[in-house]
Structure 1
Amino acid sequence: MDSKSFTAADLERSSKSSIFPPFSPFGDGQTNTHLDIPILNSEQSAPLSVAEAVVKMLQRLGVRHAFGISGGAIASLWASLEHSAIDVLHFRHEAGAGFAAIESYFVNNHPVVVFTTTGPGITNALTALFAARWEGAKVIFLSAATSAPQRGRWAFQETSTYTMPNELFCTSGSLFHYATTIESDDELPEVARRLALGLTRPGGFVAHLSIPTTTQSSLLKTPLPHANFSQALTSPEESAIAKAVQLLSEAPFAIWVGFGARGAATEIRQLAERTGAAVMSSPRGKGIFPENHPQYIGVTGFGGHASILQYMEEQRPGRILVLGTRLGEFTSFWNPAMIPSRGFVHIDIDPEVPGTAYPSVETFFVQSDVQVFVKSLLEYFPDRASQCPVLPHPDRAITSPRPKSPVRPDVLMDAIQRVFVEDSDAVVLTEAGNSFAWGTHTLRFTEPGRYRVSTGFGSMGHAATGVVGAALALNGKAVAIVGDGAMLMNNEINTAVKYQIPAVWIVLNDAHYNMCTQGMSLLGFNGVDTQMPSADFVAIARAMGADGICVEEETELQTALEKALASKVPFVVDVIIDPNQTAPFGNRIQSLIKQGAKEIKGDLSS
């Protein structure tokens, strides 16, 4: 490959004219306007392989990073990535690579590549790919496939319809928005067109290109054409805006902010202050509306605040304006107490979202980009501050550290708030489990994009590995708050050491799957075993070339976290926590009980 044929300067020029805005550490993922993909030009001096052409195409699509694990079947494609302007990061597990790719996307708003070899390379990546679909990331998955002459003959790690379900790997559906097997270079123009359309669509896009080993190294026969696409943001009709204004003006309303509204933070604050509306957020929506604002009443759902239910009971609004949230289980628990007296006005780019969580409640739906909608809505409300009633707020009592062991989780969160939230610009991720509950309930953010949690797929290991991608894309500090179980399941400390990525892991170490322990107890189930042998995560980190510190007493927290923040290398803070302090997830327990999770009476031992 002639590496000079596509230089870093070319990539910079293409980025400026592509769909992706200039680098922003907290891109909203919705500003998609124009895409120009000249994949090849007629002056190409030497013929390119299919693998090289695909990589050039990815560069023009705005890809900056590729995360994955190599293998013989993907050798040509992997080598082409390595010799391109795309930064290639070799991970230790395909799922970790995928989670890191997701979090990289949400930091810098550029589509990412995940690459794997055949067989287990693909299946190992599936959990992260499902998470990418649920989270709304833009990910292009590259994998190898067994070449046609070898199919059905028990090739090593054979990947074909003889051995794997085609509907899962190479068919568009519930996992991939677009999936195909590239058998010939003749297919590349259509592949480029489909990827371009997918990346200009609002919301997430997960694609899979399966390329047989022989096809990767085959040469292009003809140059590929340009692919030009333009797409405006999804805008509402004027009649829909007028109807929404009418409904919201009939009685006091509240605003429910979700992750899909992250690009509209300024407009949402203006709307709230002009109308006096109370504002609540989903767990993923933390920080879009400042959590210290007098009109903010708290987080809903898992790890949420009692102040929300107090507000709904004492000051139930006529309608709730729902902005960019699916109102799924971990956001609403489908709690009837969250239903306003006259129904929802729901704004989303996905027409399948509104009405799903509360199908029996009147819902006026407007399909629109949230920022475009709120900007239009503001034209109908006077540009002046409106009086706001006295509202309930999340109750957060600060607990003083004690010189005793072990560390109480809420005291740890207070220290994280001071060091990482208030005194730095670090991105904070929380892992599925008690870490999620504690972080969502206790941490307070005043700007969008600094808090990440998965409320959909919720895989263990997402934050423990995703933190590497977030820190890479941010080119700065990212911190993952994780349990010891997730840390033992999947972490990428070794990868962070290799690429000198200053990620931080704060481990809630109690030698338990403690969310399971506490949850089962609250549900009335007894006699379950969720303990695990105690692990020394500092020793593990140092053995891989990172650094760390163990915290056994609350008075040590501040110094330990400041050391982690200042560290130039990957750093683990191993916190020995009190396993007896119950995490704030009681609403999850109530939801499970309503779904039928309860103690079974009787002897099941025989």
Structure 2
Amino acid sequence: MDAKFQDIKANTNKKLNSTEQQSHSKPSKPFSVAEAVVKILEDMGVQYAFGVSGGAIAPVWAALHQSSIQVLHFRHEAGAAFAAIEAHFASDRPVVIFTTTGPGITNALTGLLAARWEGAKVILISASTSASQRGRWACQETSTYTMPSAGIFTSGQIFHYAITLESSHELTEVSRRLALGLGQPGGFVAHISIPTNIQTSSLKTLLPRVTLSHGVATATEETIAKCVQLLSEGPFAIWVGFGARGAAQEIRQLAESTGAAVMCSPRAKGIFPEDHPQFVGVTGFGGHKSVLTYMQVQRPRRILVLGTRLGEFTSFWNPAMIPWQGFLHVDIDPEVPGTAYPSTDTFAIQSDVRIFLKNVLKNFRESTGRSKTIVLPRFERDVLKPRATGLVRPELLMNMIQQVIVDGSDAVVMAESGNSFAWVIHLLRFTTPSRYRISNGFGSMGHFVTGVVGATLARRNGKAIAIVGDGAMLMNSEVNTAVKYQIPALWIVLNDGCYNICKQGMAYLGFNDVDATIPQADFVKIAQGMGAEGIRVESEAEVQVALEKAIAANGPFVVDVIIDPTQIPPSESRNQSLILQGATNY
């Protein structure tokens, strides 16, 4: 537990002691369950709560406002959930989502499923119908009479832990389970549903003491020795995933001491510097042909896989990515290794990636990755110059974003699902971790249109930029929320009047005469109508100045770029995967 966390815990314990004393000395104003839950959340290190209010959640909402937790009222529960995910990754702290009954809960589910896929730590606090009103068609009734219980109010595929709190006596167990989940490596998504009458009921017991114990999975000495032996037998490569983001220094040390080639998943850009001579490229969706060239010409004996599921968007399960003698796969989840390539020899290691690498580095005695005289294939980006006429080419826009934002600032760059993240994955180059975010597993549209608000808030003095399509910007926007709280989020909209990844993909698959057009919106006018600033870009000569103005803005800012819809992004591998799955008209 870091010093910052300990300070929060100490201060919160003082508040808890003070509150307990008040609850005993002032019986006219007993401590409520809603207040107790909020105090527990404070003790867990929660700094932010995002959500949408409603009558049924009123006691908890009021208690949040009386706490040290910063409460932000969003325009849609899904937006609040996506923002919570990105606030978690920006701050490395758990974030609360609050909703009222019925549609408040169901609206948040898409974002909560994304949180589970992304490995975020978020806690949903929702309301449910009081026992005496259940089955009587209460307003937005939330009970087993009207809503499915399995999965929403129980632990399962959405929530690691879920409970409907029916008594204050359950708070000790709830606190214990939350502390256990938040203390474990990886993600944790919880749901605490509290009937309205229970929220206002008096606390019957003392508040539980919360101790966050951070468990870390580690490999045995025998496992480390076996890994060193296997890696020492011949040239190997390192495949870096998002789960290895805390081990950037160790990955670089291992690569440079052994000469191993390094590749990364689409979510892991920047963990290993993309300008490093040993970096061969990004794998999977939007990735680089240089990786396949390496595997074909210099195929390694083994690949050390670090913190990636090797799912479809990372590998497309391409047999060309299988090394001669299999994988060594390190992950904190023991169910991950061997799943993507079940027929390939895989030595599975359950461990925190950083601790594993530290132990491996202690035992390496010689360079075994490859001969350092061999030149590795690399992806080289074309350098474009602005043209005088025509719409903005996405490639030119990405070149300018690289120059002005990636190289010229410390902003985090986030890319929305669709053609937006295809261009970003393929063309932007990052040299440090924690400056780049995509969601290509669950891949919900609207994730980063709203997630950028949470990330910018949690970064405090830093910026976050969302590169999004016009379809996503119209689907789920929290520009108005950013205006209310003066959060200087920045949106760069690739505006082509079309769900273009769908249109282009359908043509590739052989389906014609489909309509994926969108009446082209003016996102600057929309932003200004909500109190934000913006600039519209209609030619390549305007791009650089617009980006410089945007990155310097003190408040929410939208750059609306009218892009050339005929440009084909590097998404061919995804379409080929769909064809292999049968989604074709040929």
Q: TM-score, normalised by structure 1?
A: 0.93
Report the Cα distance in structure 2 between the residues aligned to 1:15 and 1:250, rounded to whole angstroms: 44
Contact residue 482 and residue 489 of structure 2 kept, 8 A: yes
1:16 equivalent in alignment to 2:6: yes
Q: Which residue of 1 aligns with 2:493?
A: 507
Report the Cα distance in structure 2 between the residues aligned to 1:446 and 1:435, rounded to whole angstroms: 20
Contact residue 56 and residue 100 of structure 2 kept, 8 A: yes
Go from structure 1 to structure 2 and tell me whether the alpha carbon gap of 1:167 and 1:542 turns closer, same or farther (over 3 Å shift). Answer: same
Contact residue 331 and residue 351 of structure 2 kept, 8 A: yes
Q: Tell me the secondary structure at the aligned position of residue 555 of structure 1.
A: helix
Report the Cα distance in structure 1 between the residues aligned to 2:284 and 2:303, rounded to whole angstroms: 16
Match of 2:58 among 75, 79, 99: 75
Structural mapping, 1:522-541, within 5 Å? 522-541=508-527
Contact residue 434 and residue 514 of structure 1 kept, 8 A: yes
1:159 equivalent in alignment to 2:145: no
Match of 2:72 among 89, 93, 99: 89
Report the Cα distance in structure 2 between the residues aligned to 1:453 and 1:532, rounded to whole angstroms: 24
Contact residue 44 and residue 212 of structure 2 kept, 8 A: no
Q: Tell me the secondary structure at the aligned position of residue 151 of structure 2.
A: helix
Report deviation, 1:380.
1.7
- Structure 2 unaligned spans of 5+: none
Q: Which residue of 1 aligns with 2:580?
A: 594
1:262 equivalent in alignment to 2:245: yes
Contact residue 312 and residue 338 of structure 1 kept, 8 A: yes
Report deviation, 1:232.
3.9
Report the Cα distance in structure 2 between the residues aligned to 1:304 and 1:469, rounded to whole angstroms: 28
Contact residue 427 and residue 450 of structure 1 kept, 8 A: yes
Report the Cα distance in structure 2 between the residues aligned to 1:291 and 1:468, rounded to whole angstroms: 27
Paired AA for residue 193 in structure 1: R
Match of 1:221 among 189, 204, 208: 204
Q: Tell me the secondary structure at the aligned position of residue 422 of structure 2.
A: helix
Report the Cα distance in structure 1 between the residues aligned to 2:255 and 2:537, rounded to whole angstroms: 42
Q: Deviations over 1:71-94 (max 9, x none)?
A: 000000000001110000000000
Q: Which residue of 2 aligns with 1:189?
A: 172
Report deviation, 1:36.
8.8
Alignment size in residue pairs: 575
Q: Which residue of 2 aligns with 1:43?
A: 21
Go from structure 1 to structure 2 and tell me whether the alpha carbon gap of 1:521 and 1:37 turns closer, same or farther (over 3 Å shift). Answer: farther
1:566 equivalent in alignment to 2:556: no
Match of 1:557 among 538, 543, 553: 543
Q: Tell me the secondary structure at the aligned position of residue 371 of structure 1.
A: helix
Report the Cα distance in structure 2 between the residues aligned to 1:206 and 1:19, rounded to whole angstroms: 21
Q: Which residue of 2 aligns with 1:482?
A: 468
Q: Which residue of 1 aligns with 2:458?
A: 473
Contact residue 37 and residue 57 of structure 1 kept, 8 A: no
1:56 equivalent in alignment to 2:39: yes
Go from structure 1 to structure 2 and tell me whether the alpha carbon gap of 1:510 and 1:377 turns closer, same or farther (over 3 Å shift). Answer: same
Q: Which residue of 2 aligns with 1:435?
A: 420
Report the Cα distance in structure 2 between the residues aligned to 1:396 and 1:36, rounded to whole angstroms: 54
Contact residue 37 and residue 226 of structure 1 kept, 8 A: no
Report deviation, 1:385.
11
Q: Which residue of 1 aligns with 2:434?
A: 449
Q: Which residue of 2 aligns with 1:301?
A: 284
Paired AA for residue 384 in structure 2: T
Paired AA for residue 203 in structure 1: G
1:399 equivalent in alignment to 2:389: no
Q: Deviations over 1:446-484 (max 9, x none)?
A: 111111000111000001000000100112211000000
Paired AA for residue 394 in structure 1: F
1:355 equivalent in alignment to 2:338: yes
Contact residue 37 and residue 60 of structure 1 kept, 8 A: no
Report the Cα distance in structure 2 between the residues aligned to 1:593 and 1:267, rounded to whole angstroms: 39
Q: Which residue of 2 aligns with 1:32?
A: none
1:417 equivalent in alignment to 2:407: no
Paired AA for residue 430 in structure 1: A
Q: Which residue of 1 aligns with 2:507?
A: 521
Report deviation, 1:526.
0.8
Sequence identity, in percent? 66
Q: Deviations over 1:533-559 (max 9, x none)?
A: 110000000000000000011111000
Report the Cα distance in structure 2 between the residues aligned to 1:229 and 1:485, rounded to whole angstroms: 41
Q: Deviations over 1:18-65 (max 9, x none)?
A: 799xxxxxxxxxxxxxx9999556534443100000000000000000
Paired AA for residue 406 in structure 1: L
Contact residue 482 and residue 505 of structure 1 kept, 8 A: yes
Contact residue 185 and residue 215 of structure 2 kept, 8 A: no
Q: Deviations over 1:370-404 (max 9, x none)?
A: 00000001012248898522100012111111122
Report the Cα distance in structure 2 between the residues aligned to 1:17 and 1:156, rounded to whole angstroms: 42
1:461 equivalent in alignment to 2:439: no
Q: Which residue of 2 aligns with 1:127?
A: 110
Report the Cα distance in structure 1 between the residues aligned to 2:440 and 2:260, rounded to whole angstroms: 26
Q: Deviations over 1:279-302 (max 9, x none)?
A: 000011000000000000010010
Report the Cα distance in structure 1 between the residues aligned to 2:16 and 2:85, rounded to whole angstroms: 25
Contact residue 145 and residue 213 of structure 1 kept, 8 A: yes
Report the Cα distance in structure 2 between the residues aligned to 1:334 and 1:211, rounded to whole angstroms: 43
Paired AA for residue 398 in structure 1: V
Report deviation, 1:441.
0.4
Match of 1:212 among 192, 195, 218: 195
Report deviation, 1:225.
3.3
Report deviation, 1:168.
2.2
Report the Cα distance in structure 2 between the residues aligned to 1:230 and 1:383, rounded to whole angstroms: 37
Q: Which residue of 1 aligns with 2:274?
A: 291
Report the Cα distance in structure 2 between the residues aligned to 1:396 and 1:456, rounded to whole angstroms: 26
Report the Cα distance in structure 2 between the residues aligned to 1:268 and 1:219, rounded to whole angstroms: 52
Report deviation, 1:14.
7.7
Paired AA for residue 444 in structure 1: R
Report the Cα distance in structure 2 between the residues aligned to 1:574 and 1:443, rounded to whole angstroms: 19
> Which range moves more in the overlay, 35-44 or 404-413?
35-44
Go from structure 1 to structure 2 and tell me whether the alpha carbon gap of 1:482 and 1:19 turns closer, same or farther (over 3 Å shift). Answer: farther
* Root-mean-square deviation over aligned CA pairs: 1.8
Report deviation, 1:525.
1.1
Report the Cα distance in structure 1 between the residues aligned to 2:213 and 2:95, rounded to whole angstroms: 21
Q: TM-score, normalised by structure 2?
A: 0.96
1:381 equivalent in alignment to 2:359: no
Report the Cα distance in structure 1 between the residues aligned to 2:429 and 2:251, rounded to whole angstroms: 18
